[in-house]
A = this chain, B = another copy of it.
Amino acid sequence: MDSKQFREAAISSIDDIVKYYDNIEDHKVVSSVEPGYLRKLLPDHAPEDGEAWAEIQNDVQSKIVPGLTHWQSPNFLAWFPSSSSYPAMLGEMYSTAFTGAAFNWICSPAVTELETIVLDWLAKAFALPECYLSTGSTHGGGVIHGTASEAIATVMVAARDKYLREATAHLSGEEQEDAIALKRSKLVALGSAATHSATKKAAMITGVRFRAVPVHAKDEYKMTGEGLRTMIEELRAKGLEPFYVTTTLGTTDTCSTDDFDSIAAVLEELAPPGKGEIWVHVDAAYAGVALICLEYQHLAAQFHRFHSFNTNMHKWMLTNFDCSVLFVRQRSWLVEALSVTLAILRNDYTDSGLVTDYRDWQIPFGRRFRSLKVWFVIRSYGIKGLQAHIRKHVGLGETFAELVKSRSDLFEIVSGPRFALTVIKLKTKGAAATLEEQNALTQKMHEAVNAGGKIFLSSTVVGGIFAIRHCPATPFVEEQHVRKHFEVLVEAAEKTTA
């Protein structure tokens, strides 16, 4: 394919993409293919000879599109959104064209420098304390990871090594290595029972234990300082050493936010700096971008007492997957845990210490030019446009909750609306039904709705209650859609309870 052929193919692909977006509602939101559908349609072996672009492009429409679930559909209400925007797509186009492994500054200075700049922009826009700025007094800063799970695994490595380093600082060489290895066997990472599985998985990856701090309906499923205190004291009594905790701003099930004030106070008492300090990470994968709105910025007021924070631009901030921004209060914590140097990587700029080599802030060695799409999104929408985007969805969540309340004969709100998410259950006629029977009915209704193909929602279980999550935060969703979603739910509820 030469550049002329590419130009034609690319324009034709752009036309496909525009058509796809303009008609996104024509697609059944969830793919209805059966497992193994594609193997039946494709050859067993790679072709020996090259094929024409037209054949490949046709196959995208005829074989791939039917196997897609349409995350940009206004009827996609499952999990959290993975939002898309045209400026971000343009960012990806340039980023792909300027491709390189970009593991250090000289690999393409613009890749590193733009990342530092747009992350400082974001830190300011989110009203994070100044310690998270690259120019801040604690030498912190931000980095773009692919996903929140990578960000959490990365800070857990840094937290583990910081803790072990501080605890064995009086030793050196193999003696220190042995002491570290032994102490590592006692380490425990914590998160609330409502935190995302990414924290448990990070503990599995980093080779430490994981314990979940219980949460309760009476606290709106928040982790509290007292809950954390009880867990820390229990573990220490057993000779184990908690070294890290994930707190959450916007949990996966219900979008609740941990009680940062009491958590900070308990940790300052039980684990002060220099005496077994416990690293606190704030996972705000979905809801963190709401900090761009003044009305949410009080949530970041305590973050200077914590160690790191991440939120996903790719969930609710119009930046195509993947793009999770991670901020740390002191960047040397990452570099000390993750830096290795090869002779082949030697260069004057790295040696000078004047530049950032982001490979030491993450698990992968190479990196993509992800800041370009973030830059395009921020500049295209402006802060005001991004605030309007968040507020629109928060408003739609409130509209949905009002609709639910208007049919309190059919539904009950389990939690929310919070950050556009409302969690509901079916109300069973006659209060005599057991929780188990209620759950079975809600599950039956949920399955019927998804099978209907008009809308797609995910379920969860909170406090033993099987519940349905409605999260209208995709780019094209409007009030008319939310009203239709509700009609579909009402119809299914009436059928289920009939």
Say whether A209 faces chain B, with CB atoms less than 8 Å apart.
yes
Q: Does the CB pair B383–A46 fall under 8 Å?
A: yes
Q: Does the CB pair B37–A113 fall under 8 Å?
A: yes
How many angstroms between the C-alpha atoms of A372 and B323 in the bound complex?
19
How many angstroms between the C-alpha atoms of A375 and B459 in the bound complex?
34
Say whether A418 faces chain B, with CB atoms less than 8 Å apart.
no
A1-B86, A51-B382 known; A458+B14 contact, CB < 8 A: no
A121-B45, A365-B149, A380-B53 known; A100+B39 contact, CB < 8 A: no
**Smallest CB separation, A403 vs chain B (Å):** 23
Q: Does the CB pair A341–B197 fall under 8 Å?
A: yes
A69-B100, A100-B321, A101-B82 known; A93+B344 contact, CB < 8 A: no
Question: Which of B101, B149, B354, B447 is the one whose CB lies under 8 Å from A364?
Answer: B149
- Chain A interface SS verdict (over half): helix
State which of A136-144, A182-190, A223-231 sits at the interface with chain B.
Answer: A182-190
The residue on B at minimum CB distance from A360 is B201
Q: Does the CB pair A17–B99 fall under 8 Å?
A: no
How many angstroms between the C-alpha atoms of A88 and B340 in the bound complex?
31
Interface size range on A against B: 35 or more
Q: Does the CB pair B6–A86 fall under 8 Å?
A: yes
User: 24 A-B residue contacts at CB 8 Å?
Assistant: A1-B87, A1-B380, A3-B21, A6-B18, A10-B86, A13-B93, A17-B97, A33-B109, A46-B383, A67-B108, A67-B109, A67-B110, A69-B107, A69-B108, A69-B109, A153-B363, A177-B209, A184-B185, A197-B341, A201-B363, A205-B363, A252-B344, A344-B459, A363-B363
Additional 17 contacts, C-beta under 8 A, given A37-B113, A252-B344: A5-B86, A6-B18, A7-B18, A10-B89, A10-B90, A31-B109, A35-B105, A46-B118, A50-B385, A56-B87, A56-B375, A56-B376, A64-B114, A68-B98, A82-B101, A201-B363, A205-B205
